[in-house]
Amino acid sequence: MPQVVRSRIRALHGPPPVSPLPHRARSLADREAVAVLHRAARGLLEALPELTDRLVEALREQEPAYRAAMETEPSEIWQEVHHSLRHNVASLIQPREFREAAHRTSRWIGESRAEQGVPLDAVMHAFRMGGAMVWQDLVDDTARRHPEDTRLLVHVAADVWNFVDEHCGVVAEAYRQAERRLSWRRENQQRLMTAALLDGTARIADLPDAAVMLGLPVQGRYAVLAVAGARRVPHGTGRPPLALPEGTAALWHSAGDVELAILPLGAAPVAAEAEPRADGETENAPAPGPAAASATELAALADDLTAPPGTRVGISSVVDGLASVGDARRLAGTALRACPASGGTILLDEHLPTALVVSSPGLGTALADRVLGPLDRLDPADRDVIIETLTAWLDSDGSAQRAGAKLYCHRNTVLNRLRRFEQLTGRCLTRPSDAVEVSLALAARRLLAG
């Protein structure tokens, strides 16, 4: 009989059976063994507090994951172990009356341990330790009081250990279900908190909790990136069709047809010190301020972005603090609206005049109608040639030579088209105020058309 006990203890860490063993008809020896089992189990119930003490102490010594819980809530752990042992041992005597109660207890333990973050392996080990201790006590009690009946316990050993494996399965399933619920709840809370930060509706009092939940500093520098593309993001990928530079941290959030990313930027870049001259003095050129350094940092990020054709990307200015992420989201949305329909990346800090136009569509449309309206009386092909020439000239910093190279025509052709524009609209392109209005009007017509 001791060999049976030792063999079962060696099998404590083995996997539970995939399916219960088939029912078999009991022999006379089996019925006698059941009677011996019931008698020994009733003895365990009478000494249940002492058995609970020993199991709790064994868990403290052999299972580190339970040690911390026992230090913070020792009475709760003792009551839990006592409750589980009472129902499980009683189930050995009266399975019909106590089986469901024992299952409820095991499920509750699995769920509780998942919520407390105790590893599943530790929970399973604890249950198997309890099973081993109960089996050993059953054998020891029978050997002490009725040694002649000890041999009969071999007939019920498989039943006892199937019972232990059954409850290990109940615990594991309850644990995994609770873990899935906790994971879903945690992810949902993260989504809601991220949405609140981006919407600017997060309360100041909630920012410390949000920082811990999302792994972001309360005080820090942030930018927001907005992505929209010709094709939608594949469902379930959690990532837009865009690759950020290697090492760039980003917290993504889906907002309808637009994907948003919170970009924590860390500490402000330190401007390089002025290099000494040959005479030992240093250059007096002013070092770039924090705003210029941040703009340079975002420009480098924008240059390293890779996106499929047709993808539109808007990048906000840098803001300070987690509380300002909502402002950054609105700036990123403005940058996205300033992005051409054909795709591209717009860094807000580099396109502020265009951002002004898209920030007030009504005024932008009115400006375009006022400045460019006279061209609409022309033949559409003629009108488009003048607008194309005007755009190329402005993009070439007012150089007719470079504009002609872009348009594959002579510089005089460019100048003639510009003079015709001035005659039709009454604008003078050499007058700074008129040039600004024309540039903004072109941007408004290009971005707000339709």
What pLDDT is stored for residue 341 in this prediction? Answer: 81
Could you tell me which of 276, 300, 261, 270 has the C-alpha nearest to residue 288?
A: 270
Q: Which helix (H) or strand (E) holds 64?
A: helix 64-72
Six-digit token pair at 118?
């105790």
What pLDDT is stored for residue 26 in this prediction? Answer: 47
| Mean pLDDT computed over 394-417 | 91
Cβ distance 142 to 135 under 8 Å? Answer: no
366 and 333 both lie in a single domain = no
| Mean pLDDT computed over 343-367 | 86
Give the CATH number for residue 60.
1.10.490.10
| Mean pLDDT computed over 413-418 | 92
What pLDDT is stored for residue 96 in this prediction? Answer: 85
User: What is the spatial distance between Cα 301 and Cα 269, in angstroms, rounded to a whole number?
Assistant: 14
- Quote the Cα angle for 151-152-153, to 5°: 95
The answer to whether position 423 is within a domain reads yes
Q: For the chain, give the mean pLDDT.
A: 82
User: What is the spatial distance between Cα 386 and Cα 400, in angstroms, rounded to a whole number?
Assistant: 13
What pLDDT is stored for residue 74 in this prediction? Answer: 81
- With the C-alpha atoms ordered 161, 163, 169, 175, is the resulting torsion angle positive or negative? negative
- Quote the Cα angle for 379-385-387, to 5°: 100
In this structure, how many other beta carbons lie within 10 angstroms of the beta carbon of residue 51? 21
What pLDDT is stored for residue 280 in this prediction? Answer: 55
319-320 and 221-228: which strand pairing? Answer: antiparallel
Six-digit token pair at 356?
């002004």
The answer to whether position 275 is within a domain reads no
Picking from 154, 182, 210, the residue at the C-terminal end of a domain is: 182
Picking from 312, 329, 359, the residue at the C-terminal end of a domain is: 359
The answer to whether position 216 is within a domain reads no
Q: Residue 284's pLDDT band (boundaries 50, 70, 90)?
A: low
Does 6 or 117 have the greater pLDDT score? 117
Does 10 or 226 have the greater pLDDT score? 226
pLDDT tens, residue by residue, 110-134: 998 888 888 899 889 888 999 899 9
What pLDDT is stored for residue 32 in this prediction? Answer: 87
Does 54 or 283 have the greater pLDDT score? 54
Does 302 or 292 have the greater pLDDT score? 302
Residues of the chain with pLDDT > 90, as a percent, come to 22
323 and 234 both lie in a single domain = yes
The answer to whether position 252 is within a domain reads yes
109 and 143 both lie in a single domain = yes
354 and 394 both lie in a single domain = no
User: What is the spatial distance between Cα 390 and Cα 396, in angstroms, rounded to a whole number?
Assistant: 10
pLDDT over threshold 50, residue 365: yes
Question: Which residues lie below 8 Å from residue 209, measured CB to CB, with a gap of 6+?
Answer: 193
259: β partners: 227, 254
In this structure, how many other beta carbons lie within 10 angstroms of the beta carbon of residue 416? 14
8 and 56 both lie in a single domain = yes
The answer to whether position 212 is within a domain reads no
Q: Which helix (H) or strand (E) holds 221?
A: strand 221-228
What pLDDT is stored for residue 332 in this prediction? Answer: 92
307 and 429 both lie in a single domain = no
pLDDT over threshold 90, residue 246: no
Count: domains in the chain: 3
Q: Residue 282's pLDDT band (boundaries 50, 70, 90)?
A: low
What pLDDT is stored for residue 17 in this prediction? Answer: 45
Tell me which residue has tokens 């000239």. Answer: 393
146 and 242 both lie in a single domain = no
- Helical pair 28-46 and 48-62, crossing angle rounded to 10 deg: 80
pLDDT tens, residue by residue, 187-202: 888 889 999 999 988 8
The answer to whether position 276 is within a domain reads no
pLDDT tens, residue by residue, 132-185: 999 999 999 889 989 988 888 888 888 888 888 888 899 999 999 998 998 888
174 and 231 both lie in a single domain = no
**Residue 420 is part of which domain span?**
361-448
pLDDT tens, residue by residue, 305-333: 888 888 899 999 999 999 999 999 999 99
| Mean pLDDT computed over 257-266 | 88
What pLDDT is stored for residue 97 in this prediction? Answer: 86
Q: Residue 359's pLDDT band (boundaries 50, 70, 90)?
A: confident
The answer to whether position 210 is within a domain reads no
Picking from 182, 208, 230, the residue at the C-terminal end of a domain is: 182
- Report CA-CA distances (Å) from 102 to 84, 105, 109, 272, 351: 7, 5, 11, 70, 68
| Mean pLDDT computed over 342-346 | 87
396 and 350 both lie in a single domain = no
pLDDT over threshold 90, residue 245: no
| Mean pLDDT computed over 218-239 | 70
pLDDT over threshold 70, residue 12: no
What pLDDT is stored for residue 329 in this prediction? Answer: 94
What pLDDT is stored for residue 262 in this prediction? Answer: 92
Q: Residue 270's pLDDT band (boundaries 50, 70, 90)?
A: low
424 and 345 both lie in a single domain = no
Direct distance between the N- and C-terminal alpha carbons of the chain, in angstroms, rounded to an integer: 89
pTM value is: 0.59
304 and 398 both lie in a single domain = no
pLDDT over threshold 60, residue 23: no
169 and 316 both lie in a single domain = no
What pLDDT is stored for residue 289 in this prediction? Answer: 52
The answer to whether position 60 is within a domain reads yes
pLDDT over threshold 50, residue 22: no
